[in-house]
Amino acid sequence: MKIKEVIVVEGKDDTTAIRRAVDADTIETNGSAINEETIEKIKLAQKTRGVIVLTDPDFPGEKIRHTITQHVPGCKHAFLEKEEAIKSKGRGLGVEHASPAAIKKALSQAHEMSDMIVEEISQDDLIDAGLIGGAGAKERREKLGKLLKIGYTNGKQLYKRLMMFQISRTQFADAVAAIRQEEQDV
């Protein structure tokens, strides 16, 4: 599978994992403190071929994603679920531990974050859905991130992520209904 866009990853082990899964070029950020030279490379790649950001599903990965979004608008974002990025013995979390199938799936579901924020979902909706505060909120956010393919986020960032991906009230309601149904079935 050949990927036209340049994939932004954190390090050389991530590049190795990407190349096991697909035929693609990468830019490595070498950690969460992205320097100006790397930002310029990402800007050029975005202009010429497009960019897909695929970082580890952890805090430093989210920091990188945020920095790139601020400096290079229009990039696509791909997300791995935490369980897809855990080393077999449970020590270590990252793109480098993901299977080629998980990487292909994440890349095929990449989508663009938008600066156009359409407020359809309120903070009250998040509270009513049990996604912020209270027992089980973290687990529900994990399930919501999977269902909507927007990745996991903490309670403070959930609203912003929903707006950035322009998740409609209908999409949100359908995902929450699926989560509630799953909880009833257990």
Instruction: Measure the CA dihedral 105/110/80/99, to 10°.
Output: 30
What type of residue is 111? H
The mean pLDDT value for 115-136 works out to 81
At 78, which amino acid appears? A
Rounded to whole angstroms, the Cα distance separating 132 from 127 reads 5
Q: Is the pTM of the predicted complex or chain greater than 0.85?
A: no
C-alpha span between 87 and 17 (Å, rounded): 13
* Distance of alpha carbon 36 from alpha carbon 117, whole angstroms: 27
Residue 145 CB neighbour total at 10 angstroms:
20
For Cα atoms 58, 64, 69, give the angle at the middle one, nearest 5 degrees.
125
Q: What is the pLDDT of residues 30-80, one digit of tens each?
A: 988 899 999 999 999 999 999 999 999 888 888 898 899 889 989 999 998
With a pLDDT cut of 90, the percent of the chain lying above it is 55
For the four alpha carbons of 36, 41, 44 and 49, in that order, the dihedral sign comes to negative
Distance of alpha carbon 109 from alpha carbon 92, whole angstroms: 24
Given a cut of 80, whether residue 117 has pLDDT beyond it is no
